[in-house]
Amino acid sequence: MKVDALIFDLDGTLADTEEGHRLAFNLAFERYRLGWTWSADEYRGLLKTTGGKERLGAYITQLPVSEVERSRLLAQVPGIHAEKTKFYSSVVNDGAIPLRHGVARLIEEARAAGCRLALASATTAVNVDALLISNLGKRGPDLFSVVACGDQVAHKKPAPDIYQLALRRLDLPSSRAVAFEDSANGLSAAVAAGFWTVVTPTYWTEDSDFSAAGLVLPGLGDPAHPLEGEPGRALRSAPWLTFNELLERAGETKPSLANQALH
C-alpha cells in the first residue's frame, strides 16, 4: 500500500490533552459561578460525547433542573465554552502539554519519505495552533497540509465527516492514507471513512473496544521511550512504530484482522 498521508487525531493522539481540557472546563465553571466541578472519573464518562460544546450540552441535559433552568443553561454553552477555550489555550501556550512519545519522530520519518501530514480533530481550531506551535515551534502548523477540526463539520466523531473532509482537502482516497486515533469514537469515525487505523489509547480511553483497529499500541514509542516487549508483541522491526513498518502493516491486514498489542 502506498501511503501518501498520515492523518492524526489531536486530543489523546498527538498529545494527552484531556486533563488540560478538564481543568479548563472547571475554571470556566468557576468563572460562571455554576457550582460544577468535573472529577476525572466523571470526565472520563463525559468524553463519550465528542466536542466540548456537545459535551457541555450532554451534561446539562442530564442535570436535575427545571426545563426553564435547563434552557437558560443551554443558552450559556457557547459562552462557557469560549471561556474554557481561553483557559485551555493559555495552558497549552505555556508549554504544559507535550506531544506524546514518538509523535515528533514519526512525523519526521514521514516527512523525510515525502508523506504528507493532516489533522482530523473535534477540537476548536485555536487549540490546534496552540498545541502545534508550543511543541513544534512557530512553523509547527505548516507541517500539516490539511487541518480539519472543530465546527468545520456538522457531525463530530464517531461520524466520519471530519475524516472525509480531510480526505477531500488532501484529494486522496482513504486507501492511500493511515489514520491515528486514541478513542472508540475516533476509531469509529476513521473506520467509517475507510481508514486502516493505528490506535494509541490513553487513560481517558483505554477501556474501549478497539477490535476494528489495524494496530493497537500503548504509544508510538521512540529510542528514548521504547515500547515494552517490542519488537515481538505487536511490532516486528523495532521497539517503536517506524514509518517503514507502518507502510508494511497498513498494506497487509484488514482492520478486522487487527493485531492487538497486549498492554
- Residue 26 site contact among ligand XBP, Mg ion, none (CB < 5 to 8 Å, cut-off depends on kind): none
Sign of CA dihedral 132, 138, 143, 148: positive
- Residue 174 site contact among ligand XBP, Mg ion, none (CB < 5 to 8 Å, cut-off depends on kind): none
Nearest to 227 by CA among 101, 61, 76, 63: 101
The reply on whether position 21 binds ligand XBP by CB under 6 A is yes
- Which residue matches cell numbers 493511515? 178
Binding mask 144-173 for ligand XBP (x = CB under 6 A): -------------x----------------
- The one-character DSSP state at 138 is T
Beta-carbon contacts of 17 under 8 Å, excluding residues fewer than 6 positions away, are 10, 11, 92, 97, 123, 127, 131
The residues carrying an active-site annotation are 9, 11
Phi, psi dihedral angles at 216 (to 5 degrees): -120, 125
| 64-83 positions binding ligand XBP, by CB under 6 A | none
- Residue 51 site contact among ligand XBP, Mg ion, none (CB < 5 to 8 Å, cut-off depends on kind): ligand XBP
The three cell numbers of residue 94 are: 505555556
Total residues at the site for ligand XBP (CB under 6 A)?
18
Residues that bind Mg ion in the complex, under the rule CB under 5 A: 9, 11-12, 182-183, 186
Residues that bind ligand XBP in the complex, under the rule CB under 6 A: 9-12, 18, 21, 50-52, 85, 121-124, 127, 157, 183, 186
